[in-house]
Chain A
């Protein structure tokens, strides 16, 4: 069964510092996608970053980057120069569907609540 685990229910970071949120997953597929979504207090689910497993290079979006370790099945999110607006719940997500499959069932981890302190 495919699962997604986020072992840090809550984290705190000072403004301008760097923080890393961890995510591990389990799959028997050789190729797949991985996602990080954020959910600020407004509740909107917003895509932060997307990674394709066959790509060696870690995905980067401005201050957000991932450390993708395929062998270890680890997909951590690094936030550099943290800003107050980064305060949110962060969810790691993984499609419970075969790569290239005809349905797209995202399964989500339990989330990490990140608080950025001024």
Chain B
């Protein structure tokens, strides 16, 4: 049973399109995250939700909109895709929002914009 699962795993799309990545965790955690890993493998946090409430919103273009219908799900919608959005997007979760909690990652969604 996958603890943090995200779909799709691979996505190739054209510039200007809108796409979504879905994420679900079955760990019973309160807090979920989206991280972006660029082509140089650099990982950076984008968003975090705690019990459906947005608690971290880093400097991310507003073309990126996260949505959390419940605490087990956190989806990422991207409008008007650009070449620079090509990256691996990781969903993750932790037991609660506290600093220092272990973060559990999904397998990543590899987005390629052409």
Contacts and interface: CB of A to CB of B under 8 A. Distances in A.
A118 to B, nearest CB: 24
Interface string B89-114: 01010100111111111111010000
Interface string A76-99: 000000000000010100010111
Nearest to A37: B105
A73 interface: no
A103 B41 contact: no
B99 A101 contact: yes
Size band of the interface chain A makes with B: 20 to 34
Contacts, number: 73
Contact of A97 (B40, B99, B105, B106): B99
Contacts of A100: 98-100
A63 B4 CA distance: 26
B41 A104 contact: no
A30 interface: no
A43 B107 contact: yes
B72 interface: no
A104 B42 CA distance: 18
Interface of B: 31, 40-45, 48, 55-56, 88, 90, 92, 94, 97-108, 110
Which 4 A-B pairs have CB atoms at the shortest separation, nearest pair first? A33-B100, A45-B105, A97-B99, A101-B99
